Chains A and B, each alone.
Chain A
Amino acid sequence: MRLVLRRVAPALRSGGYGVLAAGLLILVWEGYKLIGSPDGVSVGGVRLLPRADDASMPHVGQILERFGRPEVAAAGSPTVLVAVLRAMWFSFRVALAGWFGGVVVGMLLALLMQRFRTARDALLPYVVVSQTVPLVAIAPVVVGWGGNLAVFGQPWQPWQSVAVISGYLAFFPVAVGMLRGLDSPTAAQLGLMHSCAASYWQTLIRLRLPASVGHLIPALRLAAAASVVGAIVAEISTGTRGGIGRLIIEYAQSATGDPPKPWTALLGAAALGLVAAGMVGLADLALGRFTPAKGAR
């Protein structure tokens, strides 16, 4: 119990600093609006500082207030808050599916590459190269292939394309981080296992996997952020409706007449990333035993 507390307390403290940082950001935003020129600052035709007018930088209060009003003027329209939350929920589920798939694939790849030298030499370069392919380029391919597939007799759903693309981004940090973690036991630790005539599986379960947790947790966090970004970008590039990515595009169209509206969707996307990273934080708490305490080797 005390151990859990010791781990929760710093989390709370860093959470407190997070709130403080958000407060500072608001201060900077509003402060700039106060002193900044409505036309921004340009030097030789290049704008160095943004316009501080209400159309470009609505007041924080206006943005928050916009959450409470209906999305569109039509009767029965939900408030922006409800619309954003709904879109976040949609994107969250898709990103979660992508994250999960990416984590499974990444872990399997890492295990394979750790076990077989050949697999490592053959796969690792492609794992790295895979991340240099622009998402926009894969999106049509995934949608095209998906259109020819039927999963469990069900026709391919658009959200599944988005999840696949999101997983494509998420698997990379997991594969690389976990591989490094599996390789992390020291020569003495490995020598000991060998001297005890431990099998590959015994060494994996009692040494390599526990040793990998410290590298895996940050990788999972990166993967969570990547899967959210992947889901948002994939929604846009595949034209999938219902998620926060699509909402950002839709709301951006009303930027001129309704400046605070696009910012609501952006805040929603940012909040989604925080939620995803926070959930990995919970996993970190649960696996705390395996991550070396500060000051320990």
Chain B
Amino acid sequence: MSSLAPSPEDPAVSMTRVEKVFDSGRSGAVTALTGVDLAVAPGEFVSLIGPSGCGKSTLLRLVADLETATAGTVAVFGKSAHQARLDQDYGIAFQSAGLLPWRTVRANVELPLELRKVPRGRRRERSDELLAMVGLADFSAARPHQLSGGMQQRVAIARALAEQPRLLLMDEPFGALDEMTRERMQSELLAICERTGCAVIFVTHSIPEAVYLSDRVVVMSPRPGRITEIVPVSLGERDEDTREDAAFFSAVTAVREALRGHPDHSAHHASSTVRGVDLR
């Protein structure tokens, strides 16, 4: 793990006045993000939601050091995002599982460890543990194309957790899954977070998904991408009944109204939801 153990009081992520301009200085410059201030506490689950083009994926990529901020600071466990990436302080999962088709499930999970030259025995031990955690212990020798979409995504999550990160970055990881699988994966993800104590930043298009998973839902709007509101969600322990709960529906409504940019008390206007955000 990291040589510089992050001190416990450091926030998992801290962004101050962050701005990201693509092609800055050229005529086609696009401001993807502006004036972003966000802090994520250790162990906290935060979702980013907003219409297409609001910069939520860009925000995630800034934290992951896959992009560099044009202005402002991005700190991960008190270090620069760059240092945090080098120290493997976070794990990441994308919408497409991005598994290597020529590797077995186990070898895919072990890839991050292999890149860090973790000895074979320890790799195997860790991948056994991770595959058991995501319920794929029986599929360790399978190839990715033999698995369903949900199973592939579980492999990707196991791989993201390989280095025991304390921060998990997820970019619409369940976006391509069917509704049933999606709900099951959400519950499993929460169970995994419970066990590992990971903080999570989760990008999604789905309001119920954001509400079900998160401690806080960060609502963003486009042109230029910025945070418009942060909706706290207090539903306590989640289980299958949570989705039927009145508190759940009121949180969904709160997020939907935040997305519209103004309070809307007539519940009949469901058809006028912001484009790019579905209600699943």
Contact = CB atoms under 8 A, between A and B. Distances in A.
Contacts of B100: 189, 206-207, 210-211
Given A202-B115, A206-B114, A191 B92 contact: yes
A214 B100 CA distance: 13
A197 B83 CA distance: 10
B204 interface: no
A117 interface: no
A283 interface: no
Given A192-B92, A289-B102, A197 B85 contact: yes
Interface in A220-257: none
Interface in A259-297: 289-290, 292-293, 295-297
Contacts, number: 64
Given A289-B102, A292-B145, A296-B101, A188 B96 contact: yes
B115 A196 contact: yes
Contacts of A213: 102
A211 B103 CA distance: 11
Nearest to A197: B86
A132 interface: no
B186 interface: no
A182 to B, nearest CB: 15
Contacts of B90: 195
Interface string B114-154: 11100000000000000000000000000111000000000
B97 interface: yes
B68 interface: no
A290 B145 contact: no
Contact of B101 (A194, A198, A292): A292
Nearest to B112: A196
A186 interface: yes
A276 B45 CA distance: 59
Given A188-B96, A191-B92, A198 B115 contact: yes
A198 B88 CA distance: 11
Nearest to B95: A188
B248 interface: no
A255 B158 CA distance: 71
Nearest to B101: A292
Interface residues on B, range: 20 to 34
B98 interface: yes
Given A206-B111, A206-B114, A293-B145, A196 B98 contact: no
Interface in B54-99: 64-66, 85-86, 88, 90-92, 94-98
Which of A191, A192, A211, A289 has the most chain B CB atoms closer than 10 A to its own CB? A192
A63 B65 CA distance: 70
B64 A195 contact: yes
Which of B86, B90, B92, B95 has the most chain A CB atoms closer than 10 A to its own CB? B92
Given A196-B111, A206-B111, A206-B114, A191 B145 contact: no
Contacts of A293: 143, 145
A252 B127 CA distance: 67
A206 B64 contact: no
Interface in A173-220: 186-189, 191-198, 202, 206-207, 210-211, 213
A189 B66 contact: no
Nearest to B113: A196
Which of A197, A206, A293 has the most chain B CB atoms closer than 10 A to its own CB? A197
Contacts of B86: 197
Given A206-B111, A293-B145, A197 B98 contact: no
Nearest to A192: B98
A198 to B, nearest CB: 5
A189 B115 contact: no
A293 B146 CA distance: 10
Nearest to A188: B98
Which of A186, A189, A193, A196 has the most chain B CB atoms closer than 10 A to its own CB? A196
A186 B96 CA distance: 9
Contacts of A188: 94-98
Interface in A76-104: none
Contacts of B92: 191-192, 195
Contacts of A292: 101, 145
Nearest to B169: A195
A193 B97 CA distance: 13
A187 B171 CA distance: 12
Nearest to A202: B115
A191 B98 contact: yes
Contacts of A195: 64-66, 85, 90-92
19 contacts: A188-B95, A188-B97, A191-B92, A192-B94, A192-B98, A193-B115, A194-B85, A195-B85, A195-B90, A196-B115, A197-B85, A206-B100, A207-B100, A213-B102, A290-B102, A293-B143, A296-B101, A296-B143, A296-B145
Interface of A: 186-189, 191-198, 202, 206-207, 210-211, 213, 289-290, 292-293, 295-297
Interface of B: 64-66, 85-86, 88, 90-92, 94-98, 100-102, 111-112, 114-116, 143-145, 159
